[in-house]
Amino acid sequence: MAGSDLVAADRACLALTTEHPTYGSGWLTASVISLRSQRAAEALERADFAARLMPADPLVLLQRCYCLAALRRRPEALAGAAQLIDSTQRTPALLDAVGSFFSVLGEQRQALAAYEAAIALAPDDPRFRFNRATVRRFLGDIDGAEQDYDDVIRRAPRDFEAYKNRTELRTQTPERNHVAELTGLLAGGIPDWRGEVHVRAALAKELEDLGRYAESFAALECWTRIRRQHLDYDVSVDVSTVDWVSEEFPAFLPGSVAGCDDPQPIFIVGLPRTGTTLVDRILSSHSQVYSAGELNHFAQAIVDAARRRTKLATVPRRELIRVAATLDFAALGRDYLERTRPATLAAPRFTDKMPLNYLYCGLIRRALPNARIIHVTRHPMAACYAIYKTQFKDGYPFSYSLDDLAQYYAGYRRLMAHWHATLPGAIFELRYEALVEDQLGESRRLLEHCGLDWEDACADFHRNPQATTTASAAQVRQPMYRSSLAQWRHYERELEPLREQLLALGIPVAEIDA
């Protein structure tokens, strides 16, 4: 399992459970392997077997919750996890695990309750405070999150991620910042490259806040270079993907295929750090709209359908795209909706703000013809700089090199041009800059496109109490501000190679120099 060889792990575990069929821990491990292998029904059977052998074991009960969630039996999963918070066998580690379960399922308030129970039992353990800080940030309790990170750093000064997370909570000022502390950490030496990346990313952000732009970019270049060196990534594969998708999804005639007519979803697509979270907060401030967050459900539905069609455990990307163009689109739409329920039934409409769903606009239009697709755009240089300076926890491997970023951005633009040409009128385009300059006008236009009446709460999106788990979790708790529009211009000299490459890749000079 540690080596991610799940086939060999399953074989070894099968030998274990065959020879020792009453060894409950063996069945628990077997369930974990099945779930990681995306065999949820089998995973639940194995967890149930473990539960019969160890009926009171809380880890077995939590594993059952994960299995139930994977099988879309969400109410049972949540109820089972809630019972564990009050279990007589609860321990700090169990409560922490329960908190992680709730957080993964988007139930941040229940996650907070679990973490607070863990801290009550083990107040000196920084791990639980770190996790509570994460959830507090998601829920908009910025002061509470900062206090937790301060506590973590005091108790565990080598937890370098805590420094980075704390820095992102607010704009640093000359009177209140951590530049000297971060510089001292680097001067003392950080043996782990991940730790160094966290500290240099924090330093770059704080220096930018303080207007020390040359120093900030030097720190930014340093940490992104280190991060890129530890990635196994080839941007040409992503660039080729754009061409493959365009080939397999030519012009689409509405009504030419039968999709799922459900009008619930509103897809918000584009690139990260371009305003997608802001648009999501505006829409989800409406009484008829629930924010489901960044869902990977549509991509998962495509992959699972392709696996069933090809009978392959792993479908190569080129083949996946070819098969996707021939799927039962109505079934694909229904599968996507089932994966979002029952959480999304809290309101008549819901948003899915996974930016990379831009890859699937053609499939979305075929599978869910009544769904709305909102494409959020931003000035090319502003978008690329915002992406480049963000330390993403997962995904977006193209973001740590200006060369990779330029190539990926050009491919993204090429595909969006293809969607607009082949799906005329199906995608509503919203410019981030226009939204910032005319918040009310653009917000009204957005709601009108989605078939929603105006509600004043949409203008006060920063008061929206719903949790958000993106890199913008702290920013979207503030009213609209303009400072980010021209932030990249402080680095025009350093970003000149990016500008030249974008021009060479076909991005119009009028856009770049606007």
pLDDT in tens, 414-453: 999 999 999 999 999 999 999 999 999 999 999 999 999 9
pLDDT in tens, 444-495: 999 999 999 999 999 888 776 666 665 555 565 455 556 678 899 999 999 9
Going by pLDDT thresholds of 50, 70 and 90, the confidence category of residue 284 is very high
pLDDT at position 392 over 80: yes
Q: What does DSSP assign to residue 354? A: -
Domains recognised in the chain with CATH numbers: 157-230 (no CATH), 235-250+263-461+472-512 (3.40.50.300)
For helices 108-121 and 126-139, angle between their N-to-C axes, nearest 10 degrees: 150
Q: Under a CB-based contact definition with an 8 Å cutoff, are residues 464 and 140 in contact?
A: no
Q: Summarize the confidence of residues 297-323 as an average pLDDT.
A: 94
pTM of the model: 0.89
Write down the pLDDT at residue 4: 85
Q: Is 140 left (phi over 0), alpha (psi -120 to 50) or beta?
A: left
Chain centre distance of CA 323: 26
Q: Under a CB-based contact definition with an 8 Å cutoff, are residues 387 and 272 in contact?
A: yes
Q: Summarize the confidence of residues 198-204 as an average pLDDT.
A: 98
Please provide the average confidence, as pLDDT, over all residues in the chain: 93
For 473-513, the DSSP string reads TTGGGS---STTTTGGGGGTTTTHHHHHHHHHTT--HHHHT
Write down the pLDDT at residue 34: 95
Write down the pLDDT at residue 485: 80
Write down the pLDDT at residue 476: 56
Write down the pLDDT at residue 469: 67
Peptide bond before residue 342 is cis, with ω within 30 degrees of 0: yes
CA distance 513 to 67: 52
H/E stretch holding 201 reads helix 193-209
Q: Summarize the confidence of residues 328-336 as an average pLDDT.
A: 96
CA distance 351 to 249: 24
* Dihedral angle over CA of 143, 149, 151, 152, nearest 10: 160
Write down the pLDDT at residue 472: 55
Output the CA–CA distances (angstroms, integers) from residue 84 to 57, 97, 508, in the order listed.
10, 10, 57
Q: Which of 242, 251, 173 has the alpha carbon at shortest distance from 212? A: 173
CA distance 389 to 476: 18
Q: What does DSSP assign to residue 454? A: -
Write down the pLDDT at residue 468: 63
Lookup: tokens for 295: 């869902």
Chain centre distance of CA 258: 31
Write down the pLDDT at residue 242: 94
303 class by beta-carbon count within 10 Å (0-12 exposed, 13-18 middle, 19+ buried): middle
pLDDT in tens, 167-182: 999 999 999 999 999 9
Looking at the chain, the whole-number percentage of residues with pLDDT higher than 70 is 96
Amino acid at 370: N
Q: Summarize the confidence of residues 54-69 as an average pLDDT.
A: 95
pLDDT in tens, 79-108: 999 999 988 888 999 999 999 999 999 899
Amino acid at 344: T
Q: What does DSSP assign to residue 401? A: -
355 class by beta-carbon count within 10 Å (0-12 exposed, 13-18 middle, 19+ buried): buried
Q: Summarize the confidence of residues 312-337 as an average pLDDT.
A: 94
Q: Summarize the confidence of residues 298-307 as an average pLDDT.
A: 94
CA distance 461 to 484: 18
